[in-house]
């Protein structure tokens, strides 16, 4: 549309654009690329990670990643787009983590919000949050909101595997990153609260999912991350149009079949993870007698900022 006009305009003086560039100015009428578009254009892609593969690789890592670094013995689910080295979705990162019996991961706190979804853990496995020892067991969702001290200990005899979810990519983009190691290296616990508000027991979530299908987990406890537990009976399914938030799903029971734009059909079982970036329609169907997923999203960020899908209104 601008072309017809440009032809009628006088020529641009010699060296004009070069002089602009030296002043760090760029002509808005001759952009190198458009900066707005009609509907979202996600740069991240749908992708799947398998628990069995991650677990085998973590087991292997024990030979060369010492307990000293136990808080870093994790495998980050890096979205497989060109040049990416970290985020799983636009605003979130997910990682499989292993804490062996007898290990304690150093305590620290950071501005990013974090949570853990426990895949496998035996007795005597704890997260210490702000001095409170919180038990973790299979299926639990344990929250460590922004700037809460946290460390992990496995005093039992079984390896503990969980998935961490953090809003680190969001915090990096907002440039509000703060991080501190705990002065005592491992924070001593001053209380033991197996029923801490920060812990959503897997067994309770299952009961609630069986009653009402989808359950919102700890709404409002973490400002940036939305958490839902989804229960599906065999053959039960959900269809979702493209949406403005991005989701990471982890299966916590049974097997589901998902259909995702640009990815197609996949089957996912306990511990498997899939990322559905914004603006990808998807569906989920329960294949087992009973299946469960946890959906981790940046929905609260969109809501808080007042952004909505205006394309269908």
166 is a site residue for ligand GTQ (CB under 6 A) = yes
Closest CB to ligand GTQ among 97 and 206? 97
Q: Verify binding: residue 171, ligand GTQ, rule CB under 6 A.
A: no
Q: Show the 3-state SS of the chain.
A: CHHHHHHHCCCCCCCHHHHHHHCCCCCHHHCCCCCCCCCCCCCCCCEEECHHHHHHHHHHHCCCCCHHHHHHCEEECCCCCCCCCCCCCCCCEEEEEEECCCCEEEEEEECCCEEEEEEECCCCEEEEECCEEEECCCCCEEEECCCCCEEEEECCCCCEEEEEEECHHHHHHHCCCCEEECCCCCCCCCEECCCCCCEECHHHHHHHHHHHCEEECCCCCCCCCEEEEEEEECCCEEEECCCCCCEEEEEEECEEEEEECCCEEEEEECCCEEEECCCCCEEEEECCCEEEEEEEECHHHHHHHCCCCCCCC
- For residue 74, state whether it binds ligand GTQ (rule: CB under 6 A): yes
Tell me whether residue 69 or residue 307 sits nearer to ligand GTQ (CB atom): 69
140 counts as binding ligand GTQ under rule CB under 6 A: no
In whole angstroms, the minimum distance from the beta carbon of 116 to ligand GTQ comes to 6
Closest to ligand GTQ by CB, 111 vs 255, is: 111
Q: Name which position in 135, 138, 164, 298 contacts ligand GTQ (CB under 6 A).
A: 164
- Please give the residues from 261 up to 280 whose contact with ligand GTQ meets the rule CB under 6 A: none
Judged by CB, which is closer to ligand GTQ: 74, or 291?
Answer: 74
Q: Kindly state the smallest distance separating residue 249's Cβ from ligand GTQ, in Å.
A: 18
CA triplet 113, 118, 123: central angle to 5 degrees?
Answer: 125
CB closer to ligand GTQ, 163 vs 256: 163
| 103 makes contact with ligand GTQ (CB under 6 A) | no
Q: Does 230 bind ligand GTQ (CB under 6 A)?
A: no
In the complex, minimum distance from the CB of residue 160 to ligand GTQ, in angstroms, rounded to a whole number: 13
Q: Which residues of 107-145 are buried (b: 16+ CB within 10 A; e: fewer)?
A: bebbebbbbbbbbbbeeebbbbbbebbbbbbbbbbbbbb
CB nearer to ligand GTQ: give 69 or 155.
69
For the bound state, the minimum distance from the C-beta of residue 165 to ligand GTQ, rounded and expressed in Å, comes to 8
Quote the least distance from Cβ 163 to ligand GTQ, whole Å.
9
Shortest approach of ligand GTQ to residue 108 CB, angstroms?
A: 6
Of 151, 147, 124, 148, the residue nearest 136 (C-alpha): 124
Out of 114, 136, 142, 294, which residue is the one contacting ligand GTQ (CB under 6 A)? 114
Phi, psi (rounded to 5 degrees) for 19: -65, -40
How many residues form the binding site for ligand GTQ (CB under 6 A)? 8
Q: Which is nearer to ligand GTQ, 110 or 243 (CB)?
A: 110
130 binds ligand GTQ (CB under 6 A): no
Tell me: does residue 143 bind ligand GTQ (CB under 6 A).
no
Binding status of residue 253 toward ligand GTQ by CB under 6 A:
no
Residues that bind ligand GTQ (CB under 6 A): 74, 95, 97, 114, 144, 150, 164, 166
């Amino acid at each position: 549309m601008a072309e017809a006009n440009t032809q009628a305009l006088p020529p641009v003086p010699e060296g004009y654009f070069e002089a602009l560039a030296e002043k760090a100015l760029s002509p808005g009428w001759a952009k190198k690329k458009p900066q707005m578009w009609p509907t979202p254009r996600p740069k991240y892609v749908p992708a799947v990670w398998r628990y069995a593969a991650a677990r085998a690789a973590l087991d292997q890592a024990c030979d060369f990643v010492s307990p000293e670094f136990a808080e870093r013995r994790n495998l980050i689910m890096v979205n497989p787009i060109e040049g990416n080295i970290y985020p799983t979705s636009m605003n979130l990162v997910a990682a499989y983590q292993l804490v062996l019996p007898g290990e304690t991961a150093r305590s620290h706190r950071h501005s990013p919000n974090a949570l853990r979804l426990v895949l496998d853990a035996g007795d005597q496995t704890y997260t210490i949050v702000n001095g409170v020892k919180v038990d973790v067991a299979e299926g639990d969702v344990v929250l460590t909101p922004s700037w809460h001290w946290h460390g992990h200990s496995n005093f039992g005899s079984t390896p503990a595997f969980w998935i961490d979810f953090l809003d680190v990519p969001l915090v990096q983009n907002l440039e509000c990153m703060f991080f501190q190691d705990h002065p005592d290296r491992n924070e001593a616990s001053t209380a033991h609260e197996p029923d801490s508000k920060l812990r959503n027991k897997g067994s309770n979530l299952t009961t609630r999912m069986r009653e009402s299908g989808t359950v919102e987990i700890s709404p409002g406890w973490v400002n940036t991350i939305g958490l839902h537990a989804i229960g599906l009976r065999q053959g039960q399914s959900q269809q979702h149009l493209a949406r403005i938030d991005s989701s990471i799903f982890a299966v916590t029971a049974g097997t589901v079949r998902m259909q995702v734009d640009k990815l197609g059909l996949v089957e996912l079982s306990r511990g498997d993870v899939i990322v559905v970036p914004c603006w990808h329609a998807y569906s989920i169907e329960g294949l087992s007698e009973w299946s469960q997923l946890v959906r981790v999203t940046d929905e609260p960020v969109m809501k808080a900022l007042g952004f909505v899908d205006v394309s269908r209104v």
